[in-house]
């Protein structure tokens, strides 16, 4: 097999990806307001020669009345009121000062500073968000000023990302920008918004190829713009171990020097990792670290002979196929293996403030099933002892001894292959929940169909998950219609993984991730399609919550922001990109 095996997700011959059958799942919408989702196109008129203005992901409601706009000026202030508001205002100010050249001081609204018509008010107070939703917010703008308001700092931060998208794209520039012809204007707008799912993730595989801290920080800023709130770092695999573990130093000394194709290695020191976590936290993004166990462990087995059943360290591995490595279940290796599991999960948990620890569990094709179940029991016991909630790829659902609340991450297809659906519902039956990452629509390393280097000729991307994958396919699926029996409340969220067999540098990463991640962000954040659309298996409907024309138009506006940020995204067909 030429590439990653991923046998479990293999398609049945002739199976069609198109059929999206909503299996009579009752759709429970998160908020009352969501029920009243305006189903408008959510776009404001074109301004400044730019694309139509609009917000991605689509808000619950966005109204752009035909009134005078707000203008950010030299003397504008960021007036912060309520706990945590000043920090959010400061994060916005740090971005906008660079491009506008304005001072944009953050002032304390509680000290009697009332927001003036040229100011932006950042307010945290009870009762501001629609239905009090934790990440919900409102945004009001016009010639009398801008007011962002939420019940929590996280909600206020999400509001500031809508603000960012509604301002001229040049606001993103990391150097002083020429002011737009009409000034730094924001259309008159009235937005009420809250997320559908609590967990909205992006995964970076930094094991097959390593990405320096700066690349990860850039990625965090860009996913935050899309209101994603989780960065899952796939830190270990056969090809490399990328995180410092003090009690097992050879993991990085010997296990971090390789990557796919001999492209060199790298790892994050604990200080590097803390920098990532802190930068993410400023953007209300939670880092989920993954150590992939018990398979995908060649780098660790190479670093420590005592983890191998035969006591012999395998050679380092720089290929793409997987499914050949495994921790050893035998009693002779139990002391070393259990010490390794306890130390690695403890050190990882200690440097991770977020609630989750991902322990892998996928594609352990070289582990006999009895050994797999024994190892999963020991891995999850070690992980649970850290106090974190565990996440595992759906194969871990084979275990009926999962710690309370363990979350399953589904990576089969829109049409579940083999026993993927049963393995996934096993997490729910054991009191946990599910993250959906159907590989044929949510894996961002699948090729684009019409690559400019010729039909599938680019060196970037793979096709094994029924690729190539279009933007519209990434947009056209519904989380409640994948695994039979899974209700909205069972779904913690949605995540788009980027595996990096073929992706070795930041521009390649950006090309594969954008714009398809915007489709996944909209599925994760925006209101659910109507029950009738879902009953007909059509989550994407004209004028509905997920309207393709509206998405394309808003994406063009987002594209102008990505241009200003210097992101090398793929300008896929069908979107009215602005040159």
Site residues for ligand ACM per CB under 6 A? 6, 362-363, 393, 411
CB 444 to ligand ACM: min, Å:
12
Q: Please state, as a whole number, how many other Cβ atoms lie within 10 Å of the Cβ of residue 167.
A: 26
CB 431 to ligand ACM: min, Å:
23
Beta carbons of 32 and 501 less than 8 angstroms apart: no
- Distance between CA 506 and CA 521 in Å, rounded? 20
> Closer CB to ligand ACM, residue 164 or residue 242?
242
> Closer CB to ligand ACM, residue 157 or residue 410?
410
Angle at 277 between CA 255 and CA 284, to 5 degrees: 145
38: left (phi over 0), alpha (psi -120 to 50) or beta: alpha
In sequence order, what are the residues at sequence separation of 6 or more whose Cβ sits closer than 8 angstroms to the Cβ of residue 429?
none
Angle at 128 between CA 127 and CA 134, to 5 degrees: 85
Short-list 167, 185, 242, CA closest to 210:
242
CB 395 to ligand ACM: min, Å:
8
Beta carbons of 495 and 436 less than 8 angstroms apart: yes
Q: Please state, as a whole number, how many other Cβ atoms lie within 10 Å of the Cβ of residue 271.
A: 11
Reply yes or no on whether 363 is catalytic.
Answer: yes
The H-or-E segment that residue 336 falls in is helix 334-350
> Closer CB to ligand ACM, residue 164 or residue 234?
234
The H-or-E segment that residue 72 falls in is strand 70-72
CB 77 to ligand ACM: min, Å:
48
The H-or-E segment that residue 234 falls in is strand 230-234
CB 414 to ligand ACM: min, Å:
15
CB-count burial class (<10 Å; 0-12, 13-18, 19+) for 338: middle
> Closer CB to ligand ACM, residue 180 or residue 468?
468
> Closer CB to ligand ACM, residue 61 or residue 259?
259
- Backbone φ and ψ for 234, nearest 5 degrees, come out as -85, 95
In terms of residues, how long is the chain?
A: 579
CB 411 to ligand ACM: min, Å:
4
- Distance between CA 381 and CA 215 in Å, rounded? 34
Q: Which residue is nearest to ligand ACM (CB)?
A: 362
From 290, 363, 510, 522, the catalytic residue:
363
> Closer CB to ligand ACM, residue 393 or residue 569?
393
CB 329 to ligand ACM: min, Å:
20
> Closer CB to ligand ACM, residue 363 or residue 522?
363
- Backbone φ and ψ for 71, nearest 5 degrees, come out as -125, 125
- Distance between CA 177 and CA 349 in Å, rounded? 42
> Closer CB to ligand ACM, residue 465 or residue 558?
465
Cα–Cα distances in Å, from 501 out to 137, 437, 444, 453?
Answer: 39, 18, 12, 18
CB 276 to ligand ACM: min, Å:
22
- Give the catalytic positions in this structure: 363
């Amino acid at each position: 097999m030429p590439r990653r095996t991923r046998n479990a997700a293999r398609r049945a011959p002739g199976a069609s990806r198109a059929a999206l059958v909503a299996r009579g799942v009752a759709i429970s919408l998160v908020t009352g307001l969501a029920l009243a989702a305006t189903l408008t196109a959510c776009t404001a008129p074109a301004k400044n020669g730019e694309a139509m203005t609009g917000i991605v992901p689509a808000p619950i409601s966005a109204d752009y009345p035909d009134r005078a706009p707000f203008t950010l000026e030299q003397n504008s202030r960021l007036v912060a009121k309520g706990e945590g508001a000043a920090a959010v205002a400061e994060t916005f100010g740090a971005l906008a000062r660079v491009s506008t050249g304005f001072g944009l001081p953050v002032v304390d609204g509680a000290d009697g500073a009332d927001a003036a018509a040229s100011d932006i008010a950042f307010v945290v107070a009870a009762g501001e968000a629609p239905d009090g939703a934790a990440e919900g917010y409102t945004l009001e703008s016009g010639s009398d000023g801008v007011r962002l308001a939420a019940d929590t700092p996280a909600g206020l931060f999400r509001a500031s990302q809508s603000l960012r998208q509604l301002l001229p794209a040049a606001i993103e520039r990391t150097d002083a920008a020429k002011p737009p012809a009409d000034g730094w204007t924001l259309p008159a707008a009235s937005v009420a918004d809250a997320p559908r799912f609590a967990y909205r993730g992006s995964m970076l595989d930094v094991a097959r190829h390593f990405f320096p801290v700066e690349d990860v920080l850039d990625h965090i800023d860009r996913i935050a713009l899309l209101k994603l709130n989780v960065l899952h770092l796939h830190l270990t695999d056969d090809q490399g171990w990328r995180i410092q573990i003090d009690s097992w130093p050879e993991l990085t000394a010997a296990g971090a020097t390789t990557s796919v194709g001999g492209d060199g290695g790298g790892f994050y020191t604990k200080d590097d990792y803390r920098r990532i976590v802190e930068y993410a936290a400023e953007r209300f993004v939670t880092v989920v670290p993954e150590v992939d166990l018990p398979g995908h462990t060649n780098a660790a087995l190479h670093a420590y002979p005592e983890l191998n059943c035969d006591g012999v360290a395998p050679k380092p591995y720089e290929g793409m196929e997987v499914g050949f490595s495994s921790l050893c279940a035998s009693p002779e290796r139990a002391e070393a293996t259990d010490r390794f599991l306890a130390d690695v999960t403890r050190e990882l948990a200690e440097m991770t403030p977020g609630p989750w620890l991902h322990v892998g569990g996928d594609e352990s094709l070289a582990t006999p099933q009895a050994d797999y179940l024994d190892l999963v029991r020991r891995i999850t016991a070690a992980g649970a002892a850290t106090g974190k909630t565990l996440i595992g790829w759906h194969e871990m659902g084979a275990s009926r001894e999962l710690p309370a609340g363990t979350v399953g991450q589904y990576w089969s297809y829109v049409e579940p292959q083999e026993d993927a659906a049963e393995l996934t519902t096993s997490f729910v039956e054991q009191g946990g929940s599910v993250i959906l990452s159907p590989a044929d629509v949510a894996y961002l390393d699948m090729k684009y169909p019409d690559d400019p280097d010729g039909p599938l000729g680019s060196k970037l991307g793979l096709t094994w998950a029924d690729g190539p994958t279009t933007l519209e396919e990434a947009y056209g699926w519904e989380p409640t219609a994948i695994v039979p029996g899974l209700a909205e409340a069972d779904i913690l969220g949605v995540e788009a993984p980027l595996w990096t067999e073929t992706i070795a540098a930041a521009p390649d990463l950006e090309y594969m991730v954008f714009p398809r991640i915007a489709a996944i962000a909209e599925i994760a954040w925006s209101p659910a399609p109507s029950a009738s659309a879902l009953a007909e298996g059509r989550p994407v409907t004209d004028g509905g919550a997920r309207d393709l024309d509206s998405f394309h138009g808003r994406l063009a506006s987002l594209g102008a922001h990505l241009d200003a940020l210097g992101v090398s995204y793929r300008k896929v067909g069908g979107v009215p990109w602005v040159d």
